[in-house]
């Protein structure tokens, strides 16, 4: 059995602090939760962030935020497109919550000062991305939507002095309560002042908004802080993780060479939404033969088709052709992408851009209900760290910012109506400790990329499982951020591999070469993982989830 540690080896807490609610993470999900909980008058709120307030994934979101905001568009049509992209594994009720509450949530962002791009008439300027049958993507600064949203939210938090922000803080583990559930969270704070070193924050509720696990793979669009800490912490505390096998690989990430590792430059899907297209090394378009939406097919379709074409030609990448835009459109609509390309020696105005799939988004995570509640009392999760049921087997483009926004608001509303849980006394923590060697990072990433990336098979996943177990057997020299991150990624990699082995079909972003059949009704359900003297992986079937409805009118 894979030797998954039940808690991280760490020094005993040297200090204790108190808050009513601790929010772990400072992207759109975390800051929205903190602001709404604060506004509801629910007590003291502490936001802990691994770096500084703007260092998470939100600031890197280029494309925009999806909502039924345009003329002729409806939540029902947005629901339809989301469920189709999710390939039968979405929770229809969660999706309905997303699309019906989404427009008001976006308008609240505007009221906080977010400046979305507008038309000459002063209306929201909307564009289209893969899988959407309507123009419903609101964007800011052309392709700097996440940065603009992050700016507005950080300013709002700064104007709410009752929200305490603790930067450069790693969430190590949850503090168990004597009655079960959460009594607090242990942190390692790297700084000076009131909190420094390892300590414990006792609280009545913890909201995880810590993002995804992109650093599990060699190439990703995620920042360096995306090491899956929240998911791993929740798993060790007894929470259920769901749909881990559904990792979305973005099809158009700039290829910088075979030795490039870590965060890679994203080429927004909105570039294809504005008319760019993919070609192979012979200059031939290949998506027109694959899907009726061609280059705007859902991301899993484009990523798979790209990998197939790369295998067929032996090329390490394909090309994105956006030369038809011209200098003015590139500078106005995609200034961030343009600057990134030029910084890497490519001028997309005149050059083809080399692109290849890279890890982009985890559709799975901590299983939560419509109020963001996990299976552990007092533990909530929102955003990419959570599995709300919205994304299913494949996230629809630009639904991620909306999910964090909507479900963070719902967590605050639930706590306002039901009240915070009582503060629990900390229980003696007798769980066995463990720690991995931080030197395993590159081996871990190579193993996951080769055997559990876009292309998967039982033999490859078995190799990955054995190699990860061997890496976990190598204890780390001493506790610290790098060792904790390595342990978290190895834990999640092991859980993901086991979930992917169990799901013997191809669905959405989970592609099994040895089981290429799709839409197998027997697999219309969820793979859940929990920790109980080792990983326990179970499949839970559900009824057909898509399409429960069709758009009320044909999209243009």
**DSSP per residue over 413-477, as a string?**
HHHHHH-PPPPPPBPP--PPEE-B-GGGHHHHHHHHHHHHSSSB-HHHHHHHHHHHHHHHTSB-S
pLDDT exceeds 60 at position 376: yes
CA gap 442, 448 in Å, rounded: 10
- CA–CA distance, 249 with 503 (Å, rounded to integer): 18
299 in active site: yes
Asked whether the predicted pLDDT for residue 551 surpasses 60, the reply is: no
**What integer pLDDT is reported at residue 192 of this predicted model?**
61
- At 42-60, the pLDDT tens digits run 999 999 999 877 766 676 6
Length of the chain: 556
Q: How far apart are CA 436 and CA 451, in angstroms?
A: 21
Whole-number Å distance between alpha carbons of 19 and 431: 25
d(CA 126, CA 333): 12
Q: Two tokens at 499?
A: 């979930």
Q: How far is CA 147 from the centre of its chain?
A: 16
> If 0-12 CB within 10 Å is exposed, 13-18 middle and 19+ buried, where does residue 552 land?
exposed
Give the separation between CA 72 and CA 76, rounded to whole angstroms: 11
Residue 234 contacts residue 241 (beta carbons within 8 Å): yes
Q: pLDDT at residue 203 above 80?
A: yes
Under the banding of pLDDT at 50, 70 and 90, the label for residue 162 is confident
Q: What percent of the chain has pLDDT over 90?
A: 79
Asked if residues 62 and 35 have their Cβ atoms less than 8 Å apart, the reply is no
238-252 residue pLDDT tens: 999 999 999 999 999
For the chain, give percent helix, strand, coil, nearest 5: 35, 20, 45
Q: What is the pLDDT of residue 392?
A: 95
Q: Cβ(412)–Cβ(72) under 8 Å?
A: no
CA distance 307 to 290: 13
Per-residue pLDDT tens digits for 3-43:
799 999 999 999 999 999 999 999 999 999 999 999 999 99
Options 299, 410, 503, 512, the catalytic residue: 299
Strand partners, 540: 526
User: Which pLDDT value is given to residue 556?
Assistant: 30
Q: What is the pLDDT of residue 61?
A: 66
pLDDT in tens, 310-363: 989 999 999 999 999 999 999 999 998 999 999 999 999 999 999 999 999 999
Q: Which helix (H) or strand (E) holds 16?
A: strand 16-18
Q: What domains, with CATH codes, occur in the chain?
A: 18-246+361-418 (3.50.50.60), 248-358 (3.90.700.10), 434-541 (1.20.58.100)
In order, the DSSP letters of 193-231 are: SSS-EEEEEE-SEEEE-----GGGSSEESS-TT-S-HHH
């Amino acid at each position: 059995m894979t030797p998954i540690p039940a808690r991280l080896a760490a020094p005993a807490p040297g200090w204790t602090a108190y808050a009513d609610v601790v929010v772990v993470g400072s992207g759109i999900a975390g800051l929205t939760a903190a602001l709404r909980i604060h506004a509801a008058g629910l007590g003291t709120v502490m936001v802990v962030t691994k770096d500084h307030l703007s260092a998470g994934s939100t600031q890197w979101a280029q494309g925009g935020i999806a909502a039924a905001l345009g003329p002729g568009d409806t939540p029902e049509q947005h629901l339809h497109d989301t469920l189709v992209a999710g390939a039968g594994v979405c929770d229809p009720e969660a999706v309905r919550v997303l699309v019906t509450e989404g427009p008001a949530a976006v308008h609240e962002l505007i009221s906080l000062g977010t400046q979305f791009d507008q038309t000459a008439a002063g209306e929201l300027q909307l564009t289209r991305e893969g899988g959407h049958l309507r123009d419903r993507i609101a964007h800011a600064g052309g392709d700097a939507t996440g940065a603009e949203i992050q700016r507005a939210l950080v300013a709002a938090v700064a104007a709410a002095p009752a929200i305490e922000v603790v930067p450069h803080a790693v969430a190590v583990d949850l503090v168990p309560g004597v009655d079960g559930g959460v009594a607090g969270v242990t942190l390692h704070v790297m700084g000076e002042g009131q909190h420094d070193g390892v300590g414990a924050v006792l609280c009545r509720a913890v909201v995880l908004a810590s993002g995804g696990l992109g650093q599990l793979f060699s190439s990703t669009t995620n920042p360096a802080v995306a090491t899956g800490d929240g998911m791993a912490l929740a798993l060790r505390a007894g929470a259920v993780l769901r749909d881990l096998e559904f990792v979305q690989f973005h099809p158009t990430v700039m290829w910088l060479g075979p030795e490039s590792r870590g965060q890679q430059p994203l080429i927004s899907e909105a570039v294809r939404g504005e008319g760019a297209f993919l070609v192979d090394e012979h200059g031939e378009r290949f998506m027109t033969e694959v899907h009726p939406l061609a280059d705007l097919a859902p991301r899993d379709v484009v990523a798979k088709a790209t990998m197939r074409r790369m295998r067929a030609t032996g090329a390490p990448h394909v090309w994105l052709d956006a030369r038809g835009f011209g200098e003015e459109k590139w500078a106005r609509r995609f200034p961030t992408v343009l600057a990134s390309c030029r910084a890497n020696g490519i001028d997309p105005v005149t050059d083809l851009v080399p692109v290849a799939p890279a890890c982009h988004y985890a559709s799975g995570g901590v299983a939560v209900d419509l109020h963001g509640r996990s299976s552990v009392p007092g533990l909530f999760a929102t955003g990419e760290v959570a599995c709300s049921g919205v994304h299913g087997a494949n996230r629809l483009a630009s639904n991620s910012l909306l999910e964090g926004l909507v479900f963070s608001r719902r967590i605050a509303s639930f706590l306002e109506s039901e009240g915070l849980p009582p503060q629990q006394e900390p229980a003696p923590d007798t769980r066995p400790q463990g720690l991995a060697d931080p030197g395993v990072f590159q081996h871990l990433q190579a193993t996951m990329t080769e055997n559990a990336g876009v292309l998967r098979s039982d033999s490859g996943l078995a190799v990955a499982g054995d190699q990860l177990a061997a890496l976990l057997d190598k204890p780390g020299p001493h506790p610290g951020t790098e060792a904790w991150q390595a342990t978290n990624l190895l834990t999640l990699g092991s859980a993901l591999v086991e979930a992917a082995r169990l799901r013997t079909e191809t669905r959405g972003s989970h592609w099994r070469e040895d089981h290429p059949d799709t839409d197998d009704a027997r697999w219309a359900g969820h793979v859940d993982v929990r920790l109980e003297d080792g990983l326990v992986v179970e499949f839970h079937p559900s009824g057909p989830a898509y399409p429960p409805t069709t758009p009320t009118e044909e999209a243009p």
